[in-house]
Structure formats: structure tokens, C-alpha cells
Amino acid sequence: MVEMGLGLSNLCYKTYGKQILPFFLNPSLESELSFAIRVFEENLGKRMGEIPFDLIENLFEDRRVGRGVIHALMKMYKFKKPDISQHLSSDTLSVLKSLKIENPADLRQMLFEWVNRRYGGFVPTGLRQEALREFSREIGIPFEDLEKILWADEEEHYVLTRNGAKPDVMDLIGVYNFEVLETLISNSKAVSLTVECKEMGKLARVAIKQAKRYSVLCDIFVRYEHGDLEIRYYGPRELFGRATRFGRPLSYALFTTLSVCEKLNARMKALHVDLVLGKREYFYEARGQEIPYMKLPERYSVKESMFDSKVEEHFYWAFSANKPRGWDIVREPLPIILEGRIIVPDFVLKKNGKSVFVEIVGYWRKEYISKKMAQVEILRKNNIPMILIVNKKYADLFSKMNVHVFPYVRRGNKVEIPYGSIIRLLEKL
């Protein structure tokens, strides 16, 4: 089982039938969490083996919570190579510079070459200390400094440091709770967020933008009878049939959307996760204020770009630069609400009051293709003018749907799109 977030071994939870109730941190544990932070603070600069992690594990009735707290704190602290130059004399530093030794690996290489010359490649066990002292005398570095330098870059010598400002209790609560949710999402089949919001269109655009940003799949539905917007994400279990690290970007997409909900004064009604643990299916659900306080543990690295793919970028700049036959192109147009589903095409082409929607289809996952085909069918049934620019591999699938399909081909960084055929079609519309 692939472990993400806290990992299932550190996830503290109870089950009632098919419902799972994970343990989340809250301010009632302030004294315990303050102590955990103090343990880390008082051991800054020490190696991993010197830090009394067991003090934190034993703070809680369930040791899994303690291990999870340590995991969360390690998002705000880290072990790094010690700066040994601070503990070396100026004479030693001068010798290292003259020998062009920039790191422990350089010094080890010099030692290995010396051992080859002096001992034929092997130092007898009983002569190790004597050999090191002889080597230190020859190169002019005190024996004590030599031992400090030789293995300083091995992980066992890394020392605890802090990533930024000292965290407080709420920082620790937020990061721990995020890691709990990410563990659930990493084992999920589907995740849905239900929101009551007056600005549904704006929220839908943000949710889709964040989903694209983190390369996750989602559908958005409108529940008119309740005035709700449901954002439904595809989980790793649905896409891949197993737990994967795909849960991390999905968690970030969900969290950033939750943050926007607050700015739009949207009321979060429910968060629902369908997941699989072992071979059994469960669900987690939180309503309204039950949704735990969370905080992003770190910036998740994504490729920041105004476009989701090279194909989109190529099409947009080529079309906007030429404006063939007076057509304009608009990115991320206003959402279309059809049959209770919100759809945001990639582009809309406009001319004299006419609008033609454009969708780029190039994703390889089977579930993505199925989702796109379902959206295209809704647009087609409702007589929405549209153009599909589809990876040549999948063009035949969409051509059977009685819509305008134009296959593209990628050759390295080069994208070949049949612009002439697209322009001829626009002339007829």
C-alpha cells in the first residue's frame, strides 16, 4: 500500500459501518502541541539520533497521533547538512582551499587515493586510526578536524533546522489536519465539495482553473433545488485503481478552492470522500463547521503557466496574432450551465455576435477521455456551436459524435494544427 500524507500507519481513526471518523487536532490539545513544538525548538542543531521523539509520541493516548504530530512538524523543520566550516579553524579552512577541497566527498576521494598509494588499497582494521592520523599530518589538517569533515555529508550527521518562523499551535493543527485529509484523498475513489454560493459561475471557473493547475480531474454540478454547487474530483482509486501520490495535487486543488470559497462568502455545506482501505470501501463526510481547520504544509511545485498545455498555447497565440477573417479568441470564457452541469471550454471564438466554443483534447487517461465525451455530448444535444481540436490518437472516437473534429499532431515541441480547415469551417458558420 502506497502511503501519502501521514500514511495509513499513522492515521488514527474509527469506523462505524462504512463511515470512517479520522482524528483531527484541535485547540483543546494546546498544551501537548506546545510541548511538541518546544521539543523541536530545544533540539535545533542536533542530529536525528539525539532528538527525543519518544517524548512527543508518549504525549498522546494513541501513539499514532504522536507520530503524526512529528510528521506534521517535519513539514516546518528539516534535517540538513551541518555547516562544518563554523567549527573549523582558519588554518584548516586555508588548507582545504589550497587543496581545492570543496566538500567531504572531495576529501574522501583524496583519502582513498592516498590509501591506494600507501596501503595498496586496504587499511587493516587495527591500523585505521594510525592511518588517518598519518594522512592528517601529510595534508596538514588536524586529526580532529579531519574526522569532522570526512563523513559530514552523510544523513546520520544532518542536523535539525527550521524552515522559517517558529510555528505556533494553530500552524501545527492546520498542517496535521491537512496531512490527515491528504491520506484519505490518496486512497479515495471520489472527493466532492458542496457549496452554497451566489457567485456560482465565478467559483466554478476558479475550481476548474485550480484543477487544471494541479492536473486533476473534476466535474461541476448545479443543484438548483438547493442552490448548491458540487465540485466532484476523481480520486486515485478511480483513475488508477490504487492509492497514489496523485492525492497530493488533488488535496492542493481542493484546499485552494476552499480558500476561494471563503473569499466569495460561500457557505461550505459538505465535504465527502469515498475511499478504499485494504479491500473495504468507506466514506468520510464533514458538514459545514465540521470541516477541520487546515493549512498548507508547503508550496506544492507546479508549472505556473497561463496555459494548460503546449497545444493550447500554440493555438491561442497563432489565432490571436492573425485574427483570421476578423474572429477574436477569448481564453476561459464564462461557464455554460447545461443539464445541471457547469462546463468551461478552453476558448471561445467571437465575431459579429457569433460564438464558437473550442475545446482542446489531448489527455491520455481513459477516464479523462470519457469525461470529455460526456461533456461534448451535452453541448451537441443543446446545439452549442463548437470545435474540437483532438490528439490524432483519439480523433476517431470524437468524430463518431457528429461534431467538428480537427486532429493535431505533436512532434517534439512542434504542434501541427490544421488551421486552414478550421478557418474554412468558420467561414460557413
* CATH code where residue 223 lies: 3.30.70.600
Catalogue the E-assigned strands of 344-429.
347-351, 354-361, 386-391, 404-411, 414-416
Q: Region 190-219: what's the mean pLDDT?
A: 83
The reply to whether 378 falls in a domain is yes
pLDDT band at 166 (very low <50, low <70, confident <90, very high): very high
Residue 298 is assigned to a structural domain of this protein: no
Question: Count of domains in the chain?
Answer: 3
Domain-ending residue, one of 121, 156, 191 = 156
Same domain, yes or no, for 144 and 182? no
- Asked if residue 270 and residue 171 are part of one domain, the reply reads yes
Mean pLDDT of 217-229: 80
Q: Worst-scoring range by mean pLDDT, 114-128, 170-184, 230-244, 310-324? A: 230-244
CATH number at residue 402: 3.40.1350.60
> Is 381 a member of any domain?
yes
* Final residue belonging to a domain, choices 259, 290, 321: 290
Looking at the fold, whether 337 and 276 belong to one and the same domain comes out as: no
Q: Is 74 in the same domain as 191? A: yes
DSSP class of 191 = E
* 32/115 same-domain check: no
- Mean local confidence (pLDDT), 158-176: 92
110 phi/psi in degrees, rounded to 5: -65, -40
DSSP class of residue 42 equals: H
pLDDT exceeding 90 applies to what percent of the chain?
Answer: 26
In the prediction, which pLDDT does 363 show?
A: 64
408-423: average pLDDT? 85
Please check whether residues 172 and 261 belong to one and the same domain.
Answer: yes
Crossing angle (nearest 10°) for helices 247-263 and 169-186 = 130
DSSP string, 296-350: -SS-------SSSSHHHHHHHHHHHHH-GGG-EEEES---EEETTEEE--SEEEE
Q: Does the pLDDT at position 253 exceed 50? A: yes
pLDDT for the residue 174:
93
Task: Please tell me whether residues 191 and 270 are part of one structural domain.
Answer: yes
Tell me the mean pLDDT in the region 344-355.
87
Structural domain of residue 98, as residue ranges?
84-156
Residues 194 and 229 in one domain: yes
Can you list the pairs that 299-306 forms with residues at least 24 positions away whose Cβ atoms lie under 8 Å?
300/214, 300/248, 300/249, 300/252, 302/213, 302/214, 302/215, 302/249, 306/331
Please state whether the predicted TM-score (pTM) of the whole model is above 0.75. no
Q: Which of 353, 420, 356, 418 is nearest to 387 (CA)?
A: 356
For residue 207, the model assigns a pLDDT of 86
Summarize pLDDT for 177-196 with one digit per residue, the tens: 999 998 998 888 889 999 88
Shared-domain flag, residues 223 and 369: no
Are 222 and 88 within one domain? no
Q: Tell me, what's the pLDDT at 30?
A: 95
Q: Are 276 and 176 in the same domain?
A: yes
Let me know if residue 240 belongs to a domain. Answer: yes
- Same domain as 176, residue 128: no
Choose among 379, 380, 388, 429: nearest CA to 408.
Answer: 388
Domain boundary among 156, 182, 214: 156
First to last CA, the chain: 54
115 lies in some domain: yes
3, pLDDT greater than 70:
no
303 has a pLDDT exceeding 50 = no
Q: Give the model's pLDDT for residue 206.
A: 83
Say what the pLDDT of residue 171 is.
94
Q: Is the pLDDT of residue 300 over 60?
A: no
